[in-house]
């Protein structure tokens, strides 16, 4: 099951207690998914989706908040039948003049359908939260957080995208909007923003899994950076030590270590005997002990002496 499907599976079971929030969420679902069709000689509101969890949520909200009679169909679509798409589609229908009149009156629907939820349905913060949840159920998707952070809602019109972006903004979410093929897309790509979005739409389980993945990725990244840094430092130390040993051996072969001052001669012998030791370790072996800067100063003098002999 994809992460998007996990979120929608969780959201299908989250039905707001307040009727006004139920209507706001239902309005967003119908705005994104429904259309008018003449079926069996009568005007019918048809809602189609490929996601069984979305179909169940629409059915629950229609039945619970409006108590309308709903027709349900499950059908398979082949690629040649619908613009290259195939698979199982779930279709909910609402017909009958009385039912449609009540439904359209409560949800402020029109013919043709507006592609935005009526502002009268989303005046309060809880209703705007519910509408955002409905929009995600209808047209949202999210990548596997272990691979990357990307959440988006792809809709048919610019007006719908702008309303979604506005709803996000009410919760301090900075959605970006682009046109991709024939769809307007509102998306979030930063981890903090996606976490806040999941919190806003009440996807608690998905939020917990997402945050756990973020923590794991962050820890792994920090460990990798630390390991790489330590490896680079070790490589740098080994290279420097090898060069210092070469310099000391050159001095020994040409003019002899006895030509050096006592402090440099002592450091030369210590380095030859401890080719893999760090500056700190070399300093502790000196008599009397010296600090890292003192060791580094003496080794630089030895390198300069070798350079003059080359």
DSSP character for 114? P
Confidence label for 114 from pLDDT (cuts 50, 70 and 90): confident
Structure tokens at 94: 């609402």
C-alpha distances in Å from residue 229, one per residue of 98, 218, 232, 233, 255: 72, 16, 5, 6, 39
> Positive or negative, the Cα torsion across 289, 293, 296, 300?
negative
**Per-residue pLDDT at 73:** 66
Look over the chain and give the mean of its residue pLDDT values, rounded to a whole number.
86
Which residue ranges make up each domain of the chain?
3-202, 232-309
DSSP character for 247? H
The correct answer on CATH 3.10.28.10 for the domain covering 3-202 is yes
Percent of the chain with pLDDT strictly greater than 90:
35
pLDDT single digits (tens) 79-107 = 444 445 556 788 888 888 888 888 888 88
Q: Among 15-24, 55-64, 80-89, 262-271, name the one with the lowest average pLDDT.
A: 80-89
Mean pLDDT of 156-161: 91
């Amino acid at each position: 099951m994809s992460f998007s499907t996990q979120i929608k599976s969780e959201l299908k079971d989250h039905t707001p207690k307040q009727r006004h929030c139920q209507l706001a969420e239902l309005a967003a679902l119908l705005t994104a998914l429904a259309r008018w069709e003449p079926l069996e000689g009568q005007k019918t509101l048809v809602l189609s989706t490929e996601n069984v969890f979305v179909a169940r949520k629409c059915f629950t909200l229609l039945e619970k908040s409006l108590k309308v009679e709903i027709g349900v169909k499950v059908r398979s679509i082949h690629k040649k039948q619908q613009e290259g798409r195939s698979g199982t589609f779930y279709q909910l229908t609402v017909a009958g003049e009385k039912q449609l009149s009540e439904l359209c009156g409560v949800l402020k629907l029109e013919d043709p359908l507006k592609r935005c939820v009526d502002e009268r349905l989303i005046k309060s913060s809880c209703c705007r939260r519910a509408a955002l949840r409905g929009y995600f159920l209808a047209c949202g998707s999210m990548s596997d957080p272990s691979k990357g952070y990307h959440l988006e809602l792809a809709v048919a019109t610019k007006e719908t995208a702008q309303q979604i972006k506005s709803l996000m903004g009410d919760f301090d979410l900075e959605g970006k909007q682009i046109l991709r093929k024939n769809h307007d897309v509102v998306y979030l790509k930063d981890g903090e923003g996606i976490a806040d979005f999941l919190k806003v739409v009440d996807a608690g389980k998905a939020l917990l899994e997402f945050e756990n993945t973020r923590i794991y990725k962050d820890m792994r990244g920090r460990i990798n950076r630390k390991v790489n840094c330590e490896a680079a430092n070790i490589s740098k130390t080994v290279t420097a030590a090898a060069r210092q040993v070469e310099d000391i051996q050159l001095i020994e072969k040409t003019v002899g270590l006895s030509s050096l001052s006592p402090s440099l001669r002592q450091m030369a012998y210590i380095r030859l005997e401890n080719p893999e030791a760090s500056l700190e370790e070399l300093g502790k072996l000196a008599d009397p002990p010296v600090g890292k800067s003192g060791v580094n100063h003496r080794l630089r003098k030895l390198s300069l002496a070798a350079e003059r002999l080359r």
